[in-house]
Chain A
Amino acid sequence: MSDIAANATGAAPRKDRVETPFQRFVSEFAESRIAVLGLIVFSLIAFIAIFAPWLSPQNPYDLAQLDIMDGRMEPGTVGGAGFTFWLGTDDQGRDMLSGIMYGLRISLTVGAGSALIACIFGASLGLLAAYAGGRTDSVIMRVVDLQLSFPSILVALMILAFLGKGIMNVVIALVIVEWAYYARTVRGTALVERRREYIEAAQCLALPMRRILFRHLLPNCLPPLIVVATMQVARAIALEATLSFLGLGVPITEPSLGLLIANGYEYMLSGKYWISFYPGIALLITIVSINLVGDQLRDVLNPRLKK
């Protein structure tokens, strides 16, 4: 209750034309046109992914809608059901456009979901390491260093070799791969922040540690965390696609973009390029658009680059 009151008095100064920090952030972000374009493209992709069942011409996993006679059709041919396969069909007669829309759903869910979970774990451990210091810090950071000395694909491979494939297992592997990046970033910022007076003040008030960590320290470590989180979503999507391509990721019943590309692999050599080509383009556009947004966020949120 007292917090809400404090917020209300804090956030309700006279509403004249003074820019709020958020407005300043938005206008600085908009300075880069290509980043805005990235944001628009990504929003579009997210929109398509969320509303895929209503937007796609066909439900590619409803067997009643599939006709094996439509298999491996070239892009632009009109199928037996009477609509055009703009991006061709795969060996089962699935419309590739619909397949990509559904694949985006899975890729984005796995990527964003694992990034979010890893962020919660990693940020908490990073905060704890910075705040507690001493032995806690050195143990946590040792594990982080050890893990970051191995490439992500290898760590993920190792975990999936133990757990076997499946969406949950992929998420677990991605979380284990990614948490260390968040922990390192948050610890770096938190080490600086914890020496500030407001933390001292909070300690003098004898607030519980959890409250100091999450209500006082965390909000001040957010900017670099947001940048890392954006980049990690792109990395997670790419890694998931790679793992699925290798046959270690999502199961065949829930094909992500990586699995769609893998499905087209065997038809590649006979010149049927579209089964692999278009899902790859979708994957590429997704990753590039997220990276463009992340790049600009890094410039805007980095205090060292401020004029």
Chain B
Amino acid sequence: MTVYLVRRLLQALLVVFAMSVIVFVGVYAIGDPVEILISPDADQIERERAVQSLGLDLPLWQQYLVFLANALRGDLGRSFVFNEPALKLILQRMPATLELAFGAMFISIVVGLPLGLYAGLRPDSAVSKTIMAGSILGFSLPTFWVGLMLIMVFAVQLGWLPSTGRGETATLLGVQWSFLTLDGLRHMAMPAINLALFKISLVIRLTRAGVRETMLMDYVKFARAKGLSPARVTFVHVFKNILIPVVTVVGLELGSTIAFSVVTETVFAWPGMGKLIIDSINVLDRPVIVAYLMIIVLMFITINLIVDLTYSLLDPRVRLESKAR
């Protein structure tokens, strides 16, 4: 296990390194670094001083080393727009994104599991067919458009829910959270549902497939033969066994939920990381772009690493296979 852990950690480090090279090449070699890293308002003298201090007159590989050394010290540049360290800006907005993503995951499980369970238990009923057709729609609907339609119906026509912002926040552990206040929850409802739509479809399909497979297993037949009530068979014997793959996949999807929150946050003006990066791209605030990319890459590699390690804990075949190679 230790060997596997070390090997996997080294792989992750290698990927972080590779991604830092890609981001570096993207920003420093494809674009003009002087234009990217120095505010367009700077005059000639400031510009030259900045070129010196950023080491832009050095050969490319030395520039990369400077970039890497700064990044390791947590210095990913200063935002032109906010005139604050880019890293700090992003970390400030991270809780909003995380709370939205976790809200969406929660909704997708609470809504998706029962629907998928029903569709799996009664595959031929009209309700199940409607659920499955709905899940296809959930995969096909463009997220941002659904978000606009939600605003149109619930904010403009009915006036039930606010359409933008985070609303009132409360402090917990030194961080502002919306889900602790009623107003915050009202603000969160539409974006979270919007972000959850795709995941709901996914959970429905996974649960349904799992139920249909599990129902044919011998232990389910045996439980039925034993004379247990259908409810007990369903909720104890079947449910427990389908929960493992569903929870694993939903956990894996956390990363992509955070990435897709870029779209939802833009639609609902939710002040998270995603909205920040889109705004930064639109005003060419490049240090923030670089910082966002590095952080999100790091986040993904961490999530993938944790998932892989959990897998290898749960399923010994994974680590045995890698040892045999």
Q: A246-B262, A246-B266 are in contact. Are A283 and B145 (CB under 8 A)?
A: yes
Main secondary structure of the interface of A (DSSP, over half): helix
Q: Which residue of B lies closest to A238 (CB)?
A: B142
CB distance from A235 to the nearest CB of B (A): 10
Q: Total A-B residue pairs with C-beta atoms closer than 8 Å? A: 103
A161→B293 contact, CB < 8 A: yes
CB distance from A246 to the nearest CB of B (A): 5
CB distance from A266 to the nearest CB of B (A): 11
Tell me which residues across on chain B come within 8 A of A271, comparing CB atoms.
Answer: 156-157
Contact A151 to B255, CB < 8 A, known contacts A158-B293, A242-B144, A269-B163: yes
Contact call B259/A261, Cβ cutoff below 8 A? no
B300 touches A150 (CB 8 A): yes
C-alpha spacing A307/B146, complex, angstroms: 40
Q: How far is the CB of A241 from chain B (nearest CB, A)?
A: 6
Residues of B within 8 A of A247 (CB): 278, 281-282
When the two chains form their complex, are residues B152 and A273 in contact, meaning their CB atoms are under 8 A apart?
Answer: yes
Q: Does A222 have its Cβ within 8 Å of any Cβ on chain B?
A: no
- Bound CA–CA A259/B35 (angstroms): 28
Q: Is the CB of B26 within 8 A of A158?
A: yes
Bound Cα distance A247, B277 (Å): 12
The count of chain B contact residues (Cβ–Cβ below 8 Å) is: 42
B256 at interface, CB cutoff 8 A: yes
Report B-chain residues with C-beta under 8 Å of the C-beta of A161.
Answer: 26, 277, 281, 289, 293
Query: What mask results when residues 55 to 93 of chain B are scored 1 for a CB within 8 Å of chain A, else 0?
Result: 000000000000000000000000000000000000000
Do A268 and B151 touch (CB < 8 A)? yes
Whether B1 sits at the interface, judged by CB under 8 Å, is: no
Are B263 and A245 neighbours in the complex by a CB distance under 8 Å? yes
Contact between chains at A162 and B26 (CB < 8 Å) = yes
Query: What CA separation (Å) do A288 and B155 show in the bound complex?
Result: 27
Question: In this assembly, does A35 line the interface, its C-beta being within 8 Å of a C-beta of chain B?
Answer: no
**A269 touching B155, Cβ below 8 Å:** yes
Contacts of A239-256 to chain B: CB distance below 8 A: 241-242, 245-248
Closest Cβ of chain B to A35, distance in Å, is 13
Query: Which residues on A sit within 8 Å (CB–CB) of B144?
Result: 241-242, 245-246, 258, 261
A154–B149 Cα gap in the complex (Å)?
A: 24
Contact A284 B140 (CB under 8 A): yes
Give the chain B neighbours of A234 by CB distance below 8 A.
140
Q: List 24 A-B contacts (CB under 8 A).
A: A151-B255, A154-B300, A158-B26, A160-B281, A161-B293, A242-B144, A242-B263, A245-B144, A245-B263, A246-B278, A247-B281, A248-B281, A261-B145, A264-B148, A265-B267, A271-B156, A276-B152, A283-B142, A283-B145, A284-B142, A284-B145, A287-B142, A291-B136, A291-B140
Q: Which residues of B contact A277 (CB under 8 A)?
A: 149, 152
B143 within 8 A of A: yes
The reply to whether the CB of B243 lies closer than 8 angstroms to some CB of chain A is no
Residues of A within 8 A of B298 (CB): none
Chain B contacts for A276, CB-based, 8 A: 145, 148, 152
Q: Which residues of B contact A162 (CB under 8 A)?
A: 26-27, 30-31
The chain B residue with its CB closest to the CB of A289 is: B140
Sort A-B residue pairs by CB-CB distance and give the 4 closest, nearest first. Answer: A280-B145, A162-B26, A151-B256, A154-B259
Contact between chains at B141 and A284 (CB < 8 Å): yes
Apart from the given pairs A287-B140, A291-B136, 5 other A-B contacts in the complex at a CB distance below 8 Å: A146-B15, A268-B148, A269-B151, A277-B152, A291-B140
**Residues 118 to 147 of chain B near chain A (Cβ within 8 Å):** 136-137, 139-145
Scoring A residues 269 to 307 as 1 if CB is less than 8 Å from chain B, else 0, what string do you get?
101010011001001100110010000000000000000
Contact at A265–B148, with CB atoms within 8 Å? yes
Q: Are A280 and B155 in contact (CB under 8 A)?
A: no
Chain B nearest Cβ from A173, distance in angstroms: 12
Given contacts A269-B155, A291-B140, contact A153 B281 (CB under 8 A): no
Partner of B143, one of A163, A242, A288: A242
Q: Please determine whether B156 and A157 come into contact, CB atoms closer than 8 angstroms.
A: no
Q: Is residue B306 contacting chain A, with contact meaning CB distance below 8 A?
A: no
Complex contacts, A245 vs chain B, CB 8 Å? 144, 263, 266
Q: Mark B32-43, 1 if CB is under 8 A from A, else 0.
A: 000000000000
A90 shortest CB reach to chain B, Å:
15
> Is B311 interfacial (CB-CB < 8 Å)?
no
B296 touching A242 by the CB < 8 A rule? no
* Contact of A27 with B by CB under 8 A: no
Among A234, A238, A241, A271, the one with the most B-chain Cβ atoms within 10 Å of its Cβ is A238
Interface members, chain B 1-59 (any A CB < 8 Å)? 15, 18, 23, 26-27, 30-31
Within 8 A of A (CB), among B281-325: 281-282, 289, 293, 296-297, 300, 304
Question: A290's closest neighbor in chain B, by CB?
Answer: B140
Question: How far is A189 from B61 in the complex, measured between Cα atoms in Å?
Answer: 41
In the bound complex, do residue A288 and residue B140 qualify as a contact, i.e. CB atoms below 8 Å apart?
A: yes
In this assembly, does A7 line the interface, its C-beta being within 8 Å of a C-beta of chain B? no
Chain B min CB distance to A121 (Å): 18
Complex Cα–Cα for A58 and B269 (A): 34
Q: Determine whether the beta carbon of A242 is less than 8 Å from that of B142.
A: yes
In whole Å, how far is B134's beta carbon from the nearest beta carbon of chain A?
Answer: 12
A149 at the interface (CB under 8 A from B): yes
* Contact A261/B266 with A150-B300, A154-B296, A158-B293 known, Cβ cut-off 8 Å: no
Residue on A with the closest CB to B255?
A151
Which residues of A from 115 to 163 have beta carbons under 8 Å from B? Answer: 146, 149-151, 153-154, 157-163
Instruction: Assess the B304–A149 pair: CB atoms within 8 A.
Output: yes
- In the assembled complex, which residues on chain A have CB atoms less than 8 Å from the CB atom of B222? none
> Residues of B contacting A284 with CB < 8 Å?
140-142, 145
Judge whether A246 and B263 touch: CB under 8 Å.
yes
Residues of chain B within 8 A (CB-CB) of A146 are 15, 18
Any A CB within 8 A of the CB of B260: yes
User: Are A280 and B30 CB-contacts (below 8 A) given A149-B300, A161-B293, A242-B142?
Assistant: no
